[in-house]
Structure 1
Amino acid sequence: MSDSNTTDFTNPSTFILLGIPGLEAAHIWISIPFCAMYAIALFGNFTILFIVKREPSLHEPMFYFLSMLAITDLLISTSTLPKMLSIFWFNSREISFSACLTQMYFVHSFSAMESGILVAMALDRYVAICHPLRHSTILTNSVVAKIGLAVVLRSGILTLPYPFLARQWPYCRTNIIPHSYCRHIAVVNLACADIRISSYYGLFNLFSVNGMDVVFIAVSYTLILRAIFHLPTKDDRLKTFETCTSHLCAILALYIPDFFSSLTQRFGHNVSRHFLVLIANVYLLVPPVLHPIIYGVRTKQIQVRLLQLSFNKET
């Protein structure tokens, strides 16, 4: 490893992930909340999937989309946390060039899928509130499956340029990535070449995928709020709006860390490296932890089914 960090190479056989630069001495302590969050994410999202599968009354579009979100949360956290914990616990920092590009692809692809699923859930809320009598005829199982397929294809196709662009650059200075996983911008910043194409495509992807998704969600909720304000009583308005609160919390949990992390990685030149890496990890870890908690607390059907399962186990 001694020479590989400085000698000339066009495609390094391995990269070295530093974990959280500047906080190496605290890696063991940092791993404790990270491991706890990963365990909560696994347990919470598998519980959501189990309850939706076992309860026939939950076999409807809202919970199908919630299941898609749970699967995506499991995939995005599993694509990064095991390697991250191996760095913290065993100082296992090496990752092959191909494995790094593969991780890069999956991290950004699953992130885009999460965003697309939240748009689909906003569509479900819009149809349920603005066209309640036509909800079952508009969002049929076939339509839900097609929406899910469209989200997967969009994310997979738009993320493909990331690893292909990263592979073409020469990495002749260092193979040390000052990060805990192979984030696109962290990898291409190591290249000794003009990487503006990669940087511009990353910004294009951020605003064309997540940015447009935020616009679609905003339009949906504008129409939803207009419909809510036309309801006759205050109780009806509050009751209808409460059906959207889980989704709104999930939106905030995803987009605030996402945009903050992406923009500070590119423009936060005066921000400390360890803070940037911590924010990037929060962006990956927090939504998978919060989504099952949000929907478990705010969704009555899931609460009832979970209590039934717990009561049956006790008896």
Structure 2
Amino acid sequence: MRPLFPTSRPRRLRYNSVLREMISETSLSLNDFIMPLFVRPGKEERVPIQSMPGNFQLSVDELVKECKELSDLGIKAVLLFGIPETKDEDGTVATHDHSIVQQGIRAIKKELPDMYIIADVCNCEYTTHGHCGTIIDGDVDNDSTLITLANQSVSLARAGADMIAPSDMMDGRIGAIRKALDENGYEKTPIMAYSAKFASAFYGPFRDAAESAPQFGDRRTYQMDFRNGDEALREIEADIAEGADIVMVKPALSFMDVIARAKDRYNVPMAAYNVSGEFSMVKAASENGWVDEDRIIMEIMYSLKRAGTDLIISYHSKRVSEILNNK
């Protein structure tokens, strides 16, 4: 047992800034961060996302420029989402080798071969109805959607994606994608599974960014009930069993309990998605002078690391890099 006051004075370890740094329990580096980016058709297109200040829909040429800037800042990985020129009923457009994300991957790899590219795999951006899979009898059909997801994953890997990240929340999709990748010679391509993806109001600004709002109903038949923590662990365990190399919890801030429980139980690489609504709340409060933006950003990031997160997907990544680089 530790001695009590006045013998014990924990503040002794807080008076000096050098000592505070020396004994800090949680570390943060640019190796921890992944920047989400949105690629769209066109040329010299940099369309502001109104609900996410400082973020843009980027044409392929602008996407490459953005990746060069990120690389110069020390950000080594990006997560790509696509805004296609056309959509269809089941998202088949995303399976084509000339689809917009595939174009973006090839362009980045040509100019920045060392940039680590993670390709989001889902159908919501590519379907006319905005849901994450094929609609049969008014609902997203799980098993037919697996076919599209697997084909999309193979096409993205063929384009040069370093990692596949399925975000659809269909049952069995990790196993189906792993099988398809392996059968097509991509057994070395890892999968980062959106394992515990909750049906959340924090996704609001993303709907603008990806132009993917559902045209009817909602996504609660496939995304998770935010009240359920034990179920999240079952989903994570299932994805690990099916072949996920990294598991993710999304959103991040309201689910740090799930992150901590999963890290403690499974001890696998853990990612957290600091999502659009979480980003935009900080930006709005900062713009109104209610919070110190840089301080609150770093508090959030260290909190996620302390909870057990290994990789942080965040729209704050660029600003974090500037803070860590003292720019």
Output the TM-score relative to the length of structure 1: 0.25
Larger radius of gyration, structure 1 or 2? 1
Q: Report which of the two has the higher share of helix.
A: 1
Q: Which has the higher contact order (CA 8 A, sep 6+)?
A: 1
